[in-house]
Every structure is written in structure tokens, then in C-alpha cells.
Structure 1
Amino acid sequence: MRPFGGGCPCCEGAAHGVPRRGFMAAAVGLALGVASPAIAQGGAPRVLRVRRQVVGDSFSGVYWRDGRYDRDALRQLDTVFRDLSAAELTPMDPRLFDVMSILAWTLDSDETYEVVSGYRTPETNARNAGRSRRVSTVSLHMSGMAADCRLPGRQGLGLARVASELQLGGVGLYSRDGFVHLDCGPVRRW
């Protein structure tokens, strides 16, 4: 049984009430299977600021409060993260937003993420994989669990390093393309 009722254990209470060193220690503890009481008991609202590159759709606000995700906020985020080429959206996994939120918080950044890619239909993903070997044919983008993004004022390498240290999910550095891949899947990096 998961100690946090199915939510992202690394993000429970990781908003602004837990000191960064305490959070980092707790994140490492969670990676080792030990839950931190500071994280388990936290309940501060979770905030995310995102803007979709190309079309300019955006969301800035609270998406989790009082122990639950805000459905209206999640619907707005689903729209921002939709597959632009297929004009299709899917319910995104809210743990992805937790990953992005805690990463920005850890970096002490209130900048808005620039989202390059979010959800991809299987057809869009197959087309992209046909053009580039760097696109996985089993990408978590197709499950609404991944985003390619950048954070203004932060170098991609630094962003990827901090995200990797947090061990909240997968992290890929695409320095040639100027973005970082973040997902809420298994911890791994490339």
C-alpha cells in the first residue's frame, strides 16, 4: 500500500511549507522506501505556471488544494498540454504537474514553464518516431504522463540535473533542441 493514498508521494506537502533541505532529505528517503512525516502531513496548495509554445495557451494557478486535485484546473491543464497536430486532448496524469511544480519550487522559480510538447496521440508519436530515432515508440507522452519543456532563466543541463536528483520520474536532456523531458513514470534519465 502506498503511504499517500495514491497521490505522488514525492509531492505530498512539498509545496512551500517544507524547507528545501528537509524536502531533499525526504525525497531521498522516499526513494529508499522511507516516508517522511513532513511530506506525508503537508497540505499546502500546489501551483503551476505553464504556457504552450506556438499557440500561447496558458495556465497559472492552484491545481491541488485541501487534499485533492481541482477538476476545473486539471481540465484547463489538459487543454494546454493537448496534442496540437491532432487537435486532441486527453486527461493528463496530474502527477506530471506535481513533478513540474516541485521542480520549480525546488529551484525557487516563479517563472512560467514553456511547454514544447505534452500529450501525443499514438499517430502523432508514430509520425515523430518515424522522423527521429530520439522519439520512443512507447513514449509516456501517449499516456499523458510526459512533457517536453523549458524554464526561462534556467539552463537545460541544470534543470535536468536537479530533476534527476529529485528522482520523481524520468528526465531527458535535449540540449540541441533546448528542452528537458519530464515525466511521472519510473525514475530514469537520458
Structure 2
Amino acid sequence: MARLFHRFDCPCCDPVVARRREVIRAGLGGLLALAVAPATAAAQAAAGGVRTVRIRRVQTGEAFEGVYWRNGRYDRDALRRLDVVFRDPSMDETTPMDPRLFDVLNTVARQLDSDEFYEVISGYRAPETNAARASQSRRVSRVSLHMSGMAADVRLPGRQSMGIARIAADMQIGGVGLYRRDGFVHLDCGPARRW
């Protein structure tokens, strides 16, 4: 007797198998979160309940030095001041920066045991600024996280860009791009990746 093919004979089409895959993915995501959580908690404890950042904008000379997170939350006034320092100076346009970017900068500086000011070469980029840069260089992404306030191109005085990039990449806390020839590192609070 010939066996009739049923659409659920294929494991990819079986809704029970598909649901199991979803449960497994969710479980793996939870395990990953637990693996990262102790490092984050340890970093927060090491920071004494506050997070600070020291920033100097290369083009404008404007600076921010101080606490941007305390008592379990971000300081709105500090974030507004950081938005101004990170603005697109060519368009004089400001956007709310993603505060997780400051967490990345804080964590990298602490890991490097640096209390120097980050020199910010590029923070927020208006879409027009990003498009102009992308037309001049293949190295500029047309969908850059700079346009979302999630990225900064930085350097730390007295530190090699390769060393900063290596530390940041090893921590897996966001995107890391090494621009050795230009002497800076791209750091962002997007998915962990490197180039």
C-alpha cells in the first residue's frame, strides 16, 4: 500500500517542531542574558553605583565630564548635555543619543584603566552628512548607527587604536571598527561585531 505524503512529514513544516525551535531559541537567549548579566552587575558594582564619562569633541572643543547614571537610572540633564557635545557640528543638529553608547565608552575606559577624555571625532551624523561621507568613502556605511545616535568614532590620548579595539572587541559589548590609518576606533551599542 502506498503511503500518502503528509505535509507534516517534513520537520520544517511541522508546527510542533517549529514551536520546539522557538522554545529552544528563547532558552538560549535567556542563557546568554544570564551569562552577560554577572559581568554587567560586576561592572556596575565596580563603578560604585554611578557611571561617568569624559568626552571632548574634536571639532568644537566642547566637553562633558561627569556622572550620567546614578541611583539606578540615567541622569536626564547629563544626557541632554551629552547630546549637544555629540551633535552633528556640520549641520548643528542634535539628536537624543542612545545612553547605552555611554555605557560602552564607560566600560571600555574602565577596562583600560583610563581617566583621559575620549576625543570624539564623530558622534551623531545627520542623514545628509552621512550620505555625503558615504559618497566620498566606501568605509562609511549608508545605514550607519551614527545616524541613530548609537555610535561614536573616538580615540584616547596615549592609547593605541589597536589596543582600544582589541579590548572592546574582547568584551563583546557592541560594534568595534578599527581605523588604524586614521588613528581612531568606532564604538557602538549595536550587536557585537568587528571590522
What TM-score, normalized to structure 2? 0.79
Identity of counterpart residues, as a percentage? 68
Which structure is richer in relative contact order (CA contacts within 8 A, separation 6 or more)? 1
* Residue of 94, 117, 142 corresponding to 1:137: 142
What TM-score, normalized to structure 1? 0.81
In structure 1, distance between residues paired with 2:87 and 2:64: 13
Larger radius of gyration: 2
Shift of residue 105, structure 1, vs aligned partner: 0.5
Would you tell me which structure has more helix in proportion to its own residues?
2
In structure 2, relative to structure 1, the CA distance for the partners of 1:110 and 1:142 (3 Å cut) is same
Instruction: Report the 3-state secondary structure (helix = DSSP H, G, I; strand = E; otherwise coil) of the residue aligned with 2:187.
Output: strand
Instruction: Report the 3-state secondary structure (helix = DSSP H, G, I; strand = E; otherwise coil) of the residue aligned with 2:168.
Output: helix
The AA in structure 1 aligned to 2:38 is S
* Residue of 35, 38, 48 corresponding to 1:36: 38
In structure 1, distance between residues paired with 2:93 and 2:38: 39
Establish whether residue 116 from structure 1 lines up as the match of residue 118 from structure 2.
no
In structure 1, distance between residues paired with 2:131 and 2:113: 37
Establish whether residue 82 from structure 1 lines up as the match of residue 82 from structure 2.
no
Shift of residue 44, structure 1, vs aligned partner: 1.4
In structure 2, distance between residues paired with 1:37 and 1:49: 22
The AA in structure 1 aligned to 2:121 is V
Gaps of 5+ in 2: 1-30
Gaps of 5+ in 1: 1-29
Regions of 4+ moved over 3 Å? 30-33, 40-43
Shift of residue 166, structure 1, vs aligned partner: 0.7
Instruction: Report the 3-state secondary structure (helix = DSSP H, G, I; strand = E; otherwise coil) of the residue aligned with 1:157.
Output: helix
In structure 1, distance between residues paired with 2:32 and 2:101: 17
Aligned length: 161
Establish whether residue 98 from structure 1 lines up as the match of residue 103 from structure 2.
yes
In structure 2, relative to structure 1, the CA distance for the partners of 1:45 and 1:32 (3 Å cut) is closer
**Counterpart contact for 2:88–2:123, Cα < 8 Å:** yes
The AA in structure 1 aligned to 2:41 is I
**Counterpart contact for 1:145–1:185, Cα < 8 Å:** yes
In structure 2, distance between residues paired with 1:158 and 1:44: 27
In structure 2, relative to structure 1, the CA distance for the partners of 1:176 and 1:31 (3 Å cut) is farther
Shift of residue 33, structure 1, vs aligned partner: 4.5
**Counterpart contact for 2:59–2:89, Cα < 8 Å:** no
Residue-by-residue CA offset, 1:26-76 (whole Å, 9 max, x unaligned): xxxx85742328717746100000000021000000000000000000001
Shift of residue 150, structure 1, vs aligned partner: 0.1
Establish whether residue 48 from structure 1 lines up as the match of residue 53 from structure 2.
yes
